[in-house]
Amino acid sequence: MTYCCALRLKDGLVFISDTRTNAGVDHISVFRKLYTFGIENERFITIQTSGNLATTQAVIGHLKNHLELQQTPNLYSVNTMFEVAELVGHTLQKVIADVTENTQEQSNYYCSLLVGGQIGQAEMQLYNIYPQGNFICATSDTPYFQIGESKYGKPILDRALSYDMPLSEALRCSLISFDSTLRSNVSVGMPLDALIYKKNSLHIPEGKRITEEDPYFQHISKQWSDTLRSGLQNLPNPSDDYFN
Q: Which is nearer to a copy of itself, 135 or 152 (CB)?
A: 152
Task: Give the separation between CA 57 and CA 62, rounded to whole angstroms.
Answer: 9
Task: Give the separation between CA 169 and CA 39, rounded to whole angstroms.
Answer: 28
Question: Angle 53-68/81-99 helices, nearest 10 degrees?
Answer: 120
Q: Do the Cβ atoms of 107 and 146 come closer than 8 Å?
A: no
Asked if 229 is part of the footprint of a copy of itself (rule: CB under 8 A), the reply reads yes
Task: Give the separation between CA 58 and CA 14, rounded to whole angstroms.
Answer: 24
* Nearest one of 107, 98, 143, 106 to 125, comparing CA atoms: 143
Task: Give the separation between CA 200 and CA 198, rounded to whole angstroms.
Answer: 6
Amino acid symbol at 142: T
Stretches 49-57, 92-100, 119-127, 153-161: which one binds a copy of itself (CB under 8 A)? 153-161
Asked if 27 is part of the footprint of a copy of itself (rule: CB under 8 A), the reply reads no
DSSP 8-state symbol, 44: E
Exactly one of 70, 102, 104, 239 binds a copy of itself (CB under 8 A); which one?
239
Exactly one of 140, 183, 186, 200 binds a copy of itself (CB under 8 A); which one?
183
The 103-142 contact track toward a copy of itself, x by CB under 8 A, reads: ----------------------------------------
Asked if 152 is part of the footprint of a copy of itself (rule: CB under 8 A), the reply reads yes
- Interface residues with a copy of itself (CB under 8 A) are 149, 151-156, 158-160, 167-169, 171-173, 175-176, 180-181, 183-185, 194, 196, 198, 205-208, 216, 219-220, 223-225, 227-229, 231-239, 241-244
